Chains A and B, each alone.
Chain A
């Protein structure tokens, strides 16, 4: 009996250790340091170094793998659990976005005007020459979709070896004259939605019917834009698409059929719009002189509930999926802040943690529970 109790207690303690480790780990791009800071259990515990040019670096996870692309075109594979860099491969002189498939990575490049396909261990498989800088790379079923910034096109590539060990993409459909200067995109179910920098529209492809339509935006007079909005962060709630205006102090609201609902006047030219996990709140960041501000919008009333002003430029925000926190990357103050957002009233949200991170930029979350 004693032996059984002992065994039970041992198993309980092991499971609690495993469980304790299954939590959200925060990775923060140190923009000027070629390093990825690690925040674990509310402490900055590590820096993964030698990450090349980390301006505009993007981190993504799939399963137990972490990947980064860098401004100077490297793809780096790392282990988010051991926090070790595993491998790197240079796809171009300047990369902007990537997507992780089950058995491949697709990297959209600026400088050498290609989309590069690699296997999950970063061995090159295919180079797709587009004659353009490429943005807004997304996956839908067996399709790889991206927009060509310099030629105003959207390419839909089809994986003709979808059931094989490795993919082989061929051009399935090319949309031309989509509007001027596509710069980023989001995907929501079968809708690929692209932002157009020099047209007063957004473009929408229904990937089931392969039909394209433009949705006009009531932009008004375009102001000077000092940072291109990140439309990959467009927020999609149950009822609405929230879309940051290009060069205007507005967030547009559309329903899921892209009927215009309203526009919300905000503090400055928006960069990121990020929905809370419960979809109740939308955090909006800004550029130019309004970099220090973040506004919180109630997604039910579409009213601004709180305006934060920080002692530095906010380059990124991220809602925790694991705890009731909203993280702010305060680049010029060299810190990441965690606000406790457990109160139903955003006016009562409070600063709970501060972590020193030099020239902090993008915040990315790894949770082994959700990656299983």
Chain B
């Protein structure tokens, strides 16, 4: 009985951690990205869907942190995106996870 209780607690905790991580990504999107990017449609910046479909996680994080350093290697002619070098690694992971939510499911 005690084992079932502990298992249930573990599931609840891991699920809530997952939701917290996801909501952190969405919160960061709404705080920083939302004015220029849309999840699935081209806007002033490319959609998260198109980014997730053609970029690696490392490329996504590098572009968020310092786009002036990466935009040419990613094939963009110009850069209009500001740097978000003030995001910590956990925030970068959460935001990248959120972007990857829109990757096409194969």
Contact = CB atoms under 8 A, between A and B. Distances in A.
Given A94-B41, A110-B43, A133-B42, A198 B36 contact: no
Interface string B33-44: 001101011111
Given A53-B40, A71-B41, A224-B84, 14 more contacts: A53-B41, A71-B38, A72-B40, A73-B41, A93-B41, A94-B41, A94-B42, A111-B42, A181-B78, A198-B78, A226-B31, A226-B32, A226-B36, A228-B36
14 contacts: A56-B43, A72-B41, A73-B41, A94-B43, A111-B42, A133-B42, A198-B78, A198-B80, A225-B36, A226-B32, A226-B36, A227-B35, A227-B36, A287-B35
Interface string A172-200: 00000000110100000000000001100
Nearest to A133: B42
A217 B50 CA distance: 34
A55 interface: yes
Interface in B3-47: 31-32, 35-36, 38, 40-44
Given A226-B35, A228-B36, A180 B41 contact: no
Interface of B: 31-32, 35-36, 38, 40-44, 77-78, 80, 82-84
Contacts of A111: 41-42
3 closest A-B pairs by beta carbon, nearest first, are A227-B35, A224-B82, A111-B42
A225 B84 CA distance: 11
A309 B84 CA distance: 26
A96 to B, nearest CB: 8
Interface of A: 53, 55-56, 71-73, 93-94, 96, 110-111, 133, 150, 180-181, 183, 197-198, 224-228, 287
A177 to B, nearest CB: 13
A110 to B, nearest CB: 5
Given A227-B35, A227-B36, A287-B35, A197 B41 contact: no
B37 to A, nearest CB: 11
Most chain B beta carbons < 10 A, residue from A110, A197, A198: A110
A111 B46 CA distance: 9
B103 to A, nearest CB: 17
Contact of A228 (B32, B40, B44): B44
A197 B36 contact: no
A110 B84 CA distance: 25
A181 B31 CA distance: 24
A55 B82 contact: no
A198 B44 CA distance: 13
B42 A183 contact: no
A55 B35 contact: no
Contacts of B83: 224
A225 B32 CA distance: 9
A71 B43 contact: yes
Given A93-B42, A133-B42, A181 B80 contact: yes
A315 to B, nearest CB: 10
A73 B77 CA distance: 25
A110 B42 contact: yes
A180 B41 CA distance: 23
A288 to B, nearest CB: 8
Contact of B44 (A73, A180, A183, A224): A183
B75 to A, nearest CB: 13
A297 B65 CA distance: 36
Select the residue from B32, B35, B44, B83 with max chain A CB neighbours within 10 A.
Answer: B44
